[in-house]
Amino acid sequence: MKTRQIERTRLVPHTVDGQTEMVLDTEVIEVPAPPADWDQRVRIGVTIGAVLLVTVALVWSTSAIGGLLVMSVVAVVAYAAAAAFDLTWIMCMAVEWLLRSDPDRAKAPRTAGRWALAVSMAAVFAHGYVANQIVVGAVGATVSALAKGGFTIAMRVHARPLDPRTQQWVNARRARLDGQLAMIPIRRELQRGEAVIAAEQRSLASDPDCGPADPDRSGPSPESGSADPLPAAAGPMTVKDAVRTALDSGIREPDRVLAYVRRVADANAREATVSRYIRLAG
């Protein structure tokens, strides 16, 4: 039986001159070695092979398509644009990999990847056709197809198909989680809006038109027997407080609110200021 050595550390008591302390003791022991997992090794080999195929296809297609585009633009731009042909279907494969446990969502990137692959292969073949090397163009176009096929096989090796009921359970849990994640930026947006409103209200509260009223200011009593009595003032009020008091008392007409504000808060209160506070309170 094959064994392997492992290092184990534990606390043990150690006494010196009658004083005992807990110290670390390290020992090396041998344990049975697990058998080789050849399935995992083959799986890793397939994955590495698929990555190499994609890399080769990217280099080949970029070189071929860049040679075609360089006829009309500078080399740097031509080869940069040529890389986009294969990068598109490679990106679609990467998204398909991420969505391998959600077949419905994986259909769109799979379809887009196939179309992008067809366009890339056609561009490689066009380069061979223009160069009067049709056979080279046709063979070169299959390089990208082989790479995509190899990566598709690698994804099947790593895929874990789910039965219909389990797939529905996964979809329900994912939808609930996605909803919670989607609410994060929405809550941030709402909090920013509430902060803006709070800042606006604080700035209006510091408006010079709504400063504290002079407690010695005298005027007609709101309870002087008027046919339409107004609420009594409870101490000095600002314009803003007077507007809120009037609205809380059931007074809604702007003229009556303005009259009440001028009576209990500021005789020179502006109509525009009072109207603004009425809108904010509404």
Between these two residues, 216 and 17, which has the higher pLDDT value?
Answer: 17
d(CA 153, CA 159): 10
d(CA 28, CA 67): 61
User: Mean pLDDT lowest for which of 126-140, 170-184, 203-217, 228-242?
Assistant: 203-217
Distance of CA 85 to the CA centre of its chain: 28
In the predicted structure, residue 52 carries a pLDDT above the cut 90: yes
**Where does the pLDDT of residue 208 fall: very low under 50, low under 70, confident under 90, or very high at 90 and above?**
low
Q: What is the pLDDT of residue 226?
A: 45
**Where does the pLDDT of residue 246 fall: very low under 50, low under 70, confident under 90, or very high at 90 and above?**
confident
Q: Which pTM value belongs to this model?
A: 0.56
User: Tens digit of pLDDT for each residue in 91-131?
Assistant: 999 998 888 888 888 899 999 999 999 999 999 999 888 88
d(CA 257, CA 245): 9
DSSP letter, residue 249: T
In the predicted structure, residue 211 carries a pLDDT above the cut 70: no
In the predicted structure, residue 225 carries a pLDDT above the cut 70: no
Residue extents of the structural domains in the chain:
3-32, 45-158, 208-214+230-281
In the predicted structure, residue 238 carries a pLDDT above the cut 50: yes
**Distances in whole angstroms, Cα of residue 1 to Cα of each of 31, 32, 39, 40:** 10, 7, 21, 21
d(CA 108, CA 212): 65
Q: Give Cβ neighbours of residue 176 (< 8 Å, ≥ 6 apart).
A: none
Tell me if 207 sits within 8 A of 270, measured CB to CB. Answer: no
